[in-house]
A and B are shown apart, each in its own frame.
Chain A
């Protein structure tokens, strides 16, 4: 009972205080303290995250679940990176404090941490992102079908944006005078118009909807009606 009610009470009190503090400048200093607490908790979350990573993958390895070897690689690279960073392997001293061997930055040129970033993290991240182009191309051929009016509108818009974001858009309709009455029909102009008018209208509606949803969910959390953040499946 206590285990569940105390967190609910803390959440409700802090939440209500922060809302009230927003309307009273005299309470702003205390409100800022809470923001600093959040920063400390966020930093601690890195430790918890590491612990959670270890727990999940160690279990997967011990149970010999499918793909357990990948978990082994995850834990190995995690341990190496952590050790290299914490032990500051290959880090030269800070020029301001030359007699303090650990005073340099792990990100300095030539350090082991920088090597891992430059030759492992960077190419792997870029490769993962670049692979999207191949899957989108495959999806373009197999999935984008003009099956109904909505799909036709979507495809038409996609064509204008795809062309408008390249030189082709400018080239194809460059014969329309830029200062004439039909300049808005130039593909690059149409592309900007779609983004600034149709997209903005739709996005604003979504943003307002999300804001109302957040307000409603926050209220439920403060009132203790939504307890999912406590975990335990209740």
Chain B
């Protein structure tokens, strides 16, 4: 039996094995070495970051987590990065979901990012979990004009009148931006049609790879930032990580009475060469910093990024190998097809 015949009749389990290895080997390699591939943000990922960044501190952001565990691997990392940027910037976050198991997705974002890295943020003042509401787009249509009608309580059963950050929230118009992470229906399209477009609110969308082509027509007028699948998440994650690092350093320097312009220059210098930080810490100018602040500054300059904020970039490794395997399989399948056809066989 020739090579072509063997390939033509290959047991599909060999293909399954190849795909299993294509995903497993990079996961193990990245898990051991901690290395990730570099990311160059596309304009859409950068726009998503810029839209949140340009809002003044304390802006009200509605975060609709419309996904479930099936797509958590694809959407979880971008959800974490969205929350991280909002926390670091000091925005107020209002979580809700139109998916029954979206409540667990909200809880996971809250416990991983807010409880894990921003423990000073207070529930009810800085963030609130409004939970799940049945009704798909009807929920959006209702809260577009009367928020309290659909959400009289938060997910913990507390009446919204007793939650300080709910004061002044009457409708969609009360929010400064909407972030939607979506795995299907109801999701991004419904937020575009019934909330963001009629009430002219900035909408940032993170969605699965299957959904992304359907969302491109709404960019940039109805959707200002779009993260498509794990690639979009990895790009956005890299932008947020770099910004958080800079922002942390600049904030600490400003606390040490360094003026904003100098803090920016010094941050660039510290990130380029951590030796500059060591030298500056030895100067009297750094005398006002407490030991804890010095440690935080050193960590921000050359410390490792926490693992949960590298999840998307880590997943680009398996995606690279799996995509190359797919291309290889398509080429091999076509080679077999043409050789067989030339011989007179039909496949």
Chains A and B belong together in one complex: yes
The interface size of chain B toward A, counting residues with CB under 8 Å, comes to 64
Stretch from A8-16, A63-71, A121-129 contacting the other chain: A121-129
> Which residues of chain B are within 8 angstroms of A133 by Cβ–Cβ distance?
19, 23, 322
Q: How many residues of A contact B (CB 8 A)?
A: 54
A140 interface contact, C-beta 8 A: yes
Q: Which residues of B contact A35 (CB under 8 A)?
A: 138, 141-142
Complex-state Cα separation, A156 to B145, whole angstroms: 47
Complex: A196 Cα to B133 Cα, angstroms:
34
Given A137-B325, A163-B323 in contact, is the A105-B156 Cβ separation under 8 Å? Answer: yes
Q: Which of B158, B217, B323, B333 contacts A142 (CB 8 A)?
A: B333
B155 at interface by CB-CB < 8 Å: yes
Q: Do B135 and A196 touch across chains, with their CB atoms under 8 A apart?
A: no
> Chain B nearest CB: distance from A85 CB in Å?
11
Inter-chain contacts of B112 with A (CB < 8 A): none
User: Given A121-B69, A137-B18, A145-B333: A39 and B101 within 8 A (CB)?
Assistant: no
Known: A122-B69, A137-B329, A141-B332. A117 touches B101 (CB 8 A): yes
The answer for the CA separation of A59 and B327 in the assembled complex, in Å, is 46
Assuming the A-B contacts A42-B134, A117-B101, A167-B38, are A162 and B15 also in contact, with contact meaning beta carbons closer than 8 angstroms in the complex? no
Say yes or no: is B237 at the interface (Cβ < 8 Å to chain A): no
Nearest-neighbour CB distance to chain B for A14, whole angstroms, equals 14
Binds A, one of B208-216, B253-261, B275-283, B298-306: B208-216
Q: Which residue of B lies closest to A158 (CB)?
A: B330
Residue among A128, A138, A143 making CB contact with B70, cutoff 8 Å? A128
B326, A140: Cβ atoms closer than 8 Å? yes
A192 within 8 A of B: yes
Residues of B within 8 A of A146 (CB): 334
Indicate with 1 or 0, residue by residue over A37-64, a CB within 8 angstroms of chain B CB atoms.
0110011001000000000000000000
Q: Which residue of A lies closest to B17 (CB)?
A: A134
Known: A117-B101, A199-B213. Contact between A138 and B15, CB under 8 A? yes
Show the binding face of B for A, using Cβ within 8 Å.
10, 12, 15-16, 18-20, 23, 37-38, 40, 42-43, 68-73, 101, 103-104, 107, 133-136, 138-139, 141-142, 145-146, 149-150, 155-158, 209, 212-214, 216-217, 219, 228-229, 231, 316, 319-320, 322-327, 329-330, 332-334, 337
- By Cβ-Cβ distance, the 6 closest A-B pairs, closest first, are A125-B70, A39-B135, A166-B320, A122-B69, A137-B19, A38-B138
